[in-house]
Amino acid sequence: MNIAENAEEEPRIRLCDRATIYAKACSAVLVVAMVMQITAQASSYWAAGYANGAMIWHEGLWHNCFLRRDRWLCGAYVANHHADRIPGWVKACQALSVIGLLMAFPAFYIVQLYAMVPRLGNKRIAYIVSTGLSLFAGLFTLLGPIIFAASYPTLPSFTNQNVRYHWSFGLEIIAALSCFVSVGLQITEMYKSMLLFH
């Protein structure tokens, strides 16, 4: 049997084949969470106002849109009902949501680097850092919608309107919960790999 035949018989192992199902699931969940965070933060559907059953305005963290003479006019977030200025609670929501997203990126990178590449160094420290980043990413991301819901004003200009939270608001909450799911998966990975208590 020659060397070529031996080479063909040896199994080809990809780097990610050695990763556990928990590491792979954690990577997938973090990707989904980041996509949802980006989508929710970039869209203008955190809240919407309806009159006579039709949407007449909608707004997000960064911009809003109003229906004027059957045309949607969208611009940077300076809403009429916020006295032509960005309130502090909106700035807090913006900052918390962006910080949450920025923490999710390195968490995903560390999981990819240390879980998918088996030859690298100390996995325990990497997983602890990644788990911490994922936890704080979820907390900061969740604080944005909490502050938004707690601070969103009920003003006289809304008396003839039906104001509702919209899909972007819910998507941001789901993104935060996804970060918490990734924390659970990473803890399970550490426990199963005997990295948690050793």
pLDDT tens-digit profile of 71-103?
888 777 654 455 556 778 888 999 999 999 999
- DSSP single-letter state for residue 122: -
Within a domain: 33:
yes
Percent of the chain with pLDDT over 70: 74
Within a domain: 82:
no
Within a domain: 68:
no
Within a domain: 34:
yes
Within a domain: 45:
no
Report how far residue 107's alpha carbon sits from residue 103's, in angstroms, rounded to the nearest whole number.
6
Our count of domains for the chain comes to: 1
| Sole residue written with tokens 């070529």 | 4
Are the beta carbons of 40 and 121 closer than 8 angstroms?
no
Are the beta carbons of 59 and 79 closer than 8 angstroms?
yes
Within a domain: 66:
no
Task: Give the domain range for residue 149.
Answer: 19-38+87-192
**Average pLDDT for 6-27:** 62
